[in-house]
Chain A
Amino acid sequence: MIFGADHVRSDRVLEADLCVVGSGAGGAPVAAEAVAAGKSVVVLEAGRFWRPKDFTQLEHEMFPRLFHEKGGRATRDKAVKVHQGKGVGGSTLHNINLCKPLPMAILRHWKAEHGLEALDEATATALFDEVETRLGVTTLTDNDLNHNNRVLKEGAEALGYPGGFLRHNRTGCMGSGFCELGCPFDAKNNALKVFIADAVAGGATVLADTWAVRVTLDGRRATGVEAVVRHPDTGATLHRVTVKAKAVCVSASATATPSLLRRSGVDDPGALIGSRLHLHPGTAVAAVFDRDLDSWQGIPQSWECTELLDLEDESKDLRCWLIAAFAHPAGVGSILAGFGADHARWMKDFKRIAAISPMVHDHTVGRVDPRGDFGVSIDYWPDEADRAQLRRGLVEGARILLAAGAARVVVPLSTPVEVTSADEVDRLIGSIPIERHDIDITAVHPMSSVWMGDDPATSCCDSRGRYHHADNLFVADTSLYPTSIGIPPQITTYAMGLHVGRAIVATL
């Protein structure tokens, strides 16, 4: 069953074969696998248990419910926003459902650098197929394009740029466009609907509103997790929860997992934990058309442009993915427009705006440290090469928007750069500075902070997710990747969840 803060009326002790921290794309399949193998499982989840009727489609209500720090999480200097979800189901509650498995070129690169003896191409491919089947992933078609995505497709095609329809895990989607605020229509085949539901049906106990504070250790052995139940609004500590478990799997995301491990004082001889964070950062270029687009409506991201992305051939240095990007009024208003009359001028065209986001397969290495008992402290700013990729993405995004018929294009710097013809793009956008607090840089795919590899001297976990320096402590989330993967990570994360879950079961 799923319990929330209301159910916990005193300090509690629970015992289980496995304690999983975090119920998102990584943790949910771990729990489901262990339950399917007949193991007893307790899942601790910091966020609430939200049901479809709780998704009100209002930004000011849903940001606090579904996002850590109410959507305000950012790097320490607040120059890069880092959106991460919370709630039973983790970031899959509000994500956009786009499904891309790990590119094999990235896996080959990882294997060359780190071995990964338990993860060959055949194993990975079989895992991706299994995940896609369980999540009901299908390829979208022309009928699924909303106006923003049609603009991207038509503009890219006019310029001869490659691209294609994306695959998504949705069933019965009515194209309301509110995905990033949670789906009231239960159309998302996400971690909650698919894996947590299976785990609970098989007897798992899920504690929502419950924050793991530290993994307890007896020498090399993880013995469980100490946690607290917190008030969902105020964050006040209500009660303590102790889980005694034969194995612990930390799946709290690429920021919270390393923070929890560090807070727990696990052995880390190379001081590696948290030291290799990638964020897959993105920004946005927008345009006003002379016709209504209502870009907030319909499936938000159905088509991709790969003109600037080649993950197979590194020598080309094409690391920028172009995708439609739109949000609801507060989201768009705070990124795009200035204030007062300037704001009104842009927002009066809200119905006619389309936007494209370049996202960079980053080489920049950041780090994440614990902040207090519950928080994370992220240090990251894209290096010059990654900023150049972002700039290139803005240039090509602007070209695409103009090719699709935009009347004017804007790069929303503090002093916005406006362009009305393709001839001006290189001159006006090709050399823009990308400076802290001058442009919106947002990351929704943090990864690679507790990465896997065969050598304990150069990696944190083995390729079954087992932490190298403890016997029965595992990691299963985006932390595990040795590098950025250059694409959205949910499919790879679900797959790693199954893979690690099976490895854990084999040890119990």
Chain B
Amino acid sequence: MLRLGFHDTAGVDDLEHLSAGGGSVLRSVVDTVLPPDANRSREKLTEHVRFIDGYLVGMDPADLAQLGWLLFGLEHGTILAGKLRRFTRLPPADRADVLQEWRTSSIGLRRLGYRSLAALGILAFYRDDEAFATIGYPGPLMREGWVGPAEAAARYDALLAPADAEPGSAA
């Protein structure tokens, strides 16, 4: 994973799949992608980044490396959107300009980069009642645990081998 250096990495310096620098860039991306909210805390943003990092578990190493490069390119490619500072150091409106430039770029790979990062941010955001409430979505029906048919539970449980069973014979 790439090391980006000179980042505010508090809260993202122990990620499992992204480097601390990558996590820091991602935090700025998430901040820009999500619906504006003056009350959104830095802790909440960090929590979104940590969720995304966890989501990357099991991801193909080549895809993971690409994500690292993507964050690196975003952080250091701001000049192409006419900005003189790195992405994480830009004020929010300038970050939005950069993402908009990526979103509508004539270069397909930049549009792809935007789409991939935006999708991760959006997935991280719509996870809880607070986010659901902003769009009038009630969320899952089963809040107090599973309330499906008990008969079905028993039927499926009966298909599962006992915990101490092992299939076939030892190799």
5 chain-A/chain-B pairs, Cβ below 8 angstroms = A4-B160, A52-B146, A60-B127, A330-B126, A338-B103
CA distance A421 to B85 in the complex (A): 43
CA distance A233 to B36 in the complex (A): 33
Contact with A along B108-121 (1 / 0, CB 8 A): 11011011101101
Which of B103, B149, B152, B163 has a CB less than 8 Å from the CB of A339? B103
Residues of A within 8 A of B171 (CB): 10-13, 240, 242
| Cβ of B161 under 8 Å from chain A | yes
Residues of B within 8 A of A78 (CB): 112, 116
Residues of B within 8 A of A205 (CB): 167-168
Contact status B55-A329, CB under 8 Å: no
| Cβ of B88 under 8 Å from chain A | no
Contact status A436-B148, CB under 8 Å: no
Contact status A7-B166, CB under 8 Å: yes
CA distance A19 to B51 in the complex (A): 38
Identify 14 new A-B residue pairs, CB closer than 8 A, beyond the known A339-B96, A414-B114: A3-B167, A7-B167, A10-B166, A14-B167, A56-B142, A185-B148, A197-B155, A200-B159, A233-B58, A333-B122, A341-B35, A343-B34, A371-B60, A437-B109
Q: Please name the residue on chain A nearest to B165 by beta carbon.
A: A7
Which of A7, A178, A415 has a CB less than 8 Å from the CB of B161? A7
Contact status A339-B135, CB under 8 Å: no
List B115-144 residues whose CB lies under 8 Å from chain A.
Answer: 115-116, 118-119, 121-127, 131-132, 134-137, 139-142
The interface-forming segment of A130-138, A150-158, A265-273, A347-355 is A347-355
Q: Please name the residue on chain A nearest to B117 by beta carbon.
A: A339
Given contacts A1-B161, A52-B156, A60-B55, contact A343 B33 (CB under 8 A): yes
Contact status A49-B123, CB under 8 Å: no
CA distance A14 to B170 in the complex (A): 9
Residues of B within 8 A of A56 (CB): 140, 142
Q: Please name the residue on chain A nearest to B30 by beta carbon.
A: A339
Q: Please name the residue on chain A nearest to B151 by beta carbon.
A: A186
| Cβ of B38 under 8 Å from chain A | no
| Cβ of A344 under 8 Å from chain B | yes
Given contacts A60-B123, A339-B33, A340-B34, contact A329 B132 (CB under 8 A): yes
Q: Please name the residue on chain A nearest to B58 by beta carbon.
A: A235
Which of B96, B104, B155, B169 has a CB less than 8 Å from the CB of A13? B169
Residues of B within 8 A of A306 (CB): none
Residues of A within 8 A of B115 (CB): 334, 437
Residues of B within 8 A of A4 (CB): 160
| Cβ of A366 under 8 Å from chain B | no
Which of B55, B118, B153, B156 has a CB less than 8 Å from the CB of A334? B118
Which interface class (under 10, 10 to 19, 20 to 34, 35 or more) fits A? 35 or more
CA distance A168 to B75 in the complex (A): 49
Contact status A1-B165, CB under 8 Å: yes
Contact status A437-B160, CB under 8 Å: no
Q: How far is the CB of A171 from chain B (nearest CB, A)?
A: 11
Contact status B153-A13, CB under 8 Å: no
Q: How far is the CB of B115 from chain A (nearest CB, A)?
A: 6
Given contacts A2-B160, A3-B161, contact A341 B36 (CB under 8 A): yes
| Cβ of B71 under 8 Å from chain A | no
CA distance A436 to B115 in the complex (A): 12
CA distance A334 to B156 in the complex (A): 34
Which of B104, B135, B148, B170 has a CB less than 8 Å from the CB of A52? B148
The 4 residue pairs across chains A and B that have the minimum distance between CB atoms: A14-B168, A344-B35, A57-B140, A11-B171
Residues of B within 8 A of A57 (CB): 139-142
Contact status B148-A2, CB under 8 Å: no
| Cβ of B43 under 8 Å from chain A | no
CA distance A340 to B57 in the complex (A): 27
Q: How far is the CB of B111 from chain A (nearest CB, A)?
A: 4
| Cβ of A438 under 8 Å from chain B | yes
CA distance A343 to B96 in the complex (A): 12
Q: How far is the CB of B144 from chain A (nearest CB, A)?
A: 12
| Cβ of A316 under 8 Å from chain B | no
CA distance A57 to B139 in the complex (A): 8
Q: Please name the residue on chain B nearest to A54 by beta carbon.
A: B146
- Best-buried of B58, B109, B160, B167 by chain A (most CB within 10 Å): B167
Q: How far is the CB of B133 from chain A (nearest CB, A)?
A: 11
| Cβ of A365 under 8 Å from chain B | no
CA distance A437 to B99 in the complex (A): 15
Contact status A339-B160, CB under 8 Å: no
Contact status B148-A184, CB under 8 Å: yes
CA distance A9 to B156 in the complex (A): 23
CA distance A10 to B148 in the complex (A): 35
| Cβ of B28 under 8 Å from chain A | no
Q: Please name the residue on chain B nearest to A340 by beta carbon.
A: B96
Contact status A329-B155, CB under 8 Å: no
Contact with A along B48-85 (1 / 0, CB 8 A): 00010001011110000000000000000000000000
